Amino acid sequence: MEDESQMLEQWLEEHGDFLFRHALRKVNDPSVAEDLVQITFLSAWESMSKFKTGNSAKNWLMGILRHKIMDYFRRLYSKKNHEEFGEEVLSSEDDHGAKMPGAGNQIQDPMATMESGELRKTLKRCVNALPEKLRFLYLEREMEGNPTGDLCEQLGITDNHFHVLMHRMRRQLRDCFKKHGIETLS
């Protein structure tokens, strides 16, 4: 028992900051990220017998953390929150390739903007400004590349609801980019 306690303390020392940064990137709230990391280590403690010596502790802890983050967002998408968004129907034109507002005012030199880091900074600022649910979907779908079907199943939402949320997320990002003086690239 004492060996397990020491091992867990060592893991906290070695991987705690990494896990916290990952959680913070997903939830954008330091107190929630800290809670998720603590819950991760508590779960690791409770299931220490399942850890196989020789495996990567970091990967094992990361797997637990990912599940805790999904649980956190699943609670946000409870039936109460599901009703808040409703079941709007988007036309396929809106969801698949509608021109972004201001599409006629394209950036003159997109490579110069990217190289200067302005676009990257603005993207980070705009993603962080998204409501928590939409930020999570952006990170999981657009950054991590998780399939739509998997995200719908994990969050307990329909495919149509997913597309409504993605449409809202893209619209908010577009508006945020415009607000920061960056017109659309397409």
Do 93 and 172 lie in one domain? The reply is: yes
Do 50 and 131 lie in one domain? The reply is: no
**Distance of alpha carbon 106 from its chain centroid, rounded?**
28
Residue 20 confidence (pLDDT): 92
Do 86 and 64 lie in one domain? The reply is: no
Q: Is the pLDDT of residue 92 over 70?
A: no
Reported as type and span, the H/E element at residue 141 is none
The answer to which of 2-11, 14-23, 72-81, 133-142 has the lowest mean pLDDT is 72-81
Work out whether the CA dihedral 13, 15, 19, 22 comes out positive or negative: positive
User: Once rounded to an integer, what is the mean pLDDT over residues 59-86?
Assistant: 74
CATH code of 11's domain: 1.10.1740.10
pLDDT-based confidence at residue 184 (cuts at 50, 70, 90): low
| DSSP summary character for residue 139 | I
Neighbour tally for 127: CB within 10 Å: 20
Do 60 and 83 lie in one domain? The reply is: no
Range of the domain at 162: 79-179
CA gyration radius, the chain: 20
Do 98 and 110 lie in one domain? The reply is: yes
Residue at a domain's end among 46, 76, 106 = 76
The answer to which of 89-93, 103-107, 128-132 has the lowest mean pLDDT is 89-93
Do 88 and 72 lie in one domain? The reply is: no
Across all residues in the chain, what is the average pLDDT? Answer: 75
For 11, the token pair is 């893991």
Neighbour tally for 138: CB within 10 Å: 21
**Most confident residue range from 74-78, 114-118, 138-142:** 138-142
pLDDT-based confidence at residue 163 (cuts at 50, 70, 90): confident
